Amino acid sequence: MFDPHKIREDFPILKRKINNYTLIYFDNAASSQKPRQVIEAIKDFYENHNSNVHRAVHTLSQEASELYERAHDEVADFIHADGMEEIIFVRGTTEAINLVAYSWGLRNLKKGDEVIVSLMEHHSNIVPWEILSKLNGFNIKYVGVSDDGTLNYEAYEELISEKTKIVCFSHVSNFSGVINDVKRIAKIAHDHGALILIDGAQSVPHLPTHVKDLDVDFLAFSGHKMLGPTGIGVLYGKCEILEKMEPFQGGGEMIREVLFDSITKRCTITWNDLPWKFEAGTPNICDGIGLMEAVRYLRRLGMENVQAHEYTLTEYAMKHMLECQKIEIYGPEDASAKCGIIPFNVEGFSSHDVALLLDNYGIMVRSGFHCTQPLHAIFKLKSSARASFYIYNTREEIDSFIEVLKEIE
């Protein structure tokens, strides 16, 4: 049975006091807290198995390699990929998107081609494509959002053409929490021969994710938003696409052999097998193992239960926030269309003032642009505060949050 009060016992930081108030952590869209099981897995690796992977035949290296490979396998299983060959460990969602941009986009996008990006995107799914377009000369077309913050699906039908090579968008908005219809857009893209890249930073930690059912070509997500350590993330890619891609970082691990040709005076290089050809140098071994433990934790809870719990919290919080006369909430009013994220402002206060006032009571929320300036511009907002929930949050915490908001009013 899903019991957030019992779950909280696994998170040491939630016992901390801020200004003599028990910590209430509502900044989960930025980064989640870590359970004791993940912390212990990291500690165990450094105390008992620490060694480089795929480098030696001694015991420690073999143990480290086995754990690191198993981490790829378990992440693949978590998102229903075909196998570890489709799972590339990176530093986070940002690096995963950049890997696609430079390893696939640099060689496949040319002048006259088109890339479709939504204005809902985190900057990390806008900036790489803008940078690359200046190098390769392709065009970027932007899809807008409706008044309630949902995607304009009709615009995809209007904008896409045979020139479109890739469509990039978020599964869940990190500003409004709106859940986008991935399968609908994937069909539009694939019917025109285009690939799709999904930013799953806000979806994989909160929703059951089945990459084959969604029919995504690339999926990027971060470990630190799903109970794992910082500095580790994942790029999923369909094996047949990854096989054709060239690596964009060179060095150790990503090669099978480097042979010097005495006639041409050049080296002939053969790439390593997937996924290692995209993991140049010594990888982030320990945090990969920490991510594996985070995945195990979430699987024990059941992602359907995670989603249901967050829906209950979001519905409850929105209902009581809307009772406050000076609070404005952005995005869909239907909590079932959202994923545990509530952006808001309090009349007469900046978002930073609201965040600081809440902090006085030990309540942590995000304030600012949330790396979505174009979307804030659409809503004509200078900034916003954002409350975001996860598995260890409770109704009692929301009651405390609402009480402070009423005091601010």
Active site (catalytic) residues: 371
Kindly state the helix (H) or strand (E) to which residue 88 belongs, with its residue range.
strand 87-90
Contact 119/144 with Cβ under 8 angstroms? Answer: yes
C-alpha closest to that of 117 among 139, 134, 95, 136: 139
What's the rounded Cα separation, in Å, for the pair 217 and 239?
Answer: 9
Quote the distance between the C-alpha of residue 30 and its chain's center.
10
Q: Tokens at residue 380, please?
A: 């004509």
The amino acid that residue 99 corresponds to is: L
The two most distant CA atoms of the chain are separated, in Å, by: 79
Closest CA to 138 of 173, 107, 181: 107
The two counts, helices (H) then strands (E), for the chain are 15, 17
**For 154, what's the count of Cα atoms within 13 Å in the CB-facing half-sphere?**
1
Q: How many whole angstroms separate alpha carbon 258 and alpha carbon 274?
A: 17
Sign (positive or negative) of CA dihedral 164, 170, 176, 177:
positive
Which has the closest alpha carbon to 120: 146, 101, 99? 146
Residue among 339, 92, 317, 84 nearest 208 (CA): 339
Going by C-alpha positions, the residue among 239, 404, 268 that lies closest to residue 327 is: 404
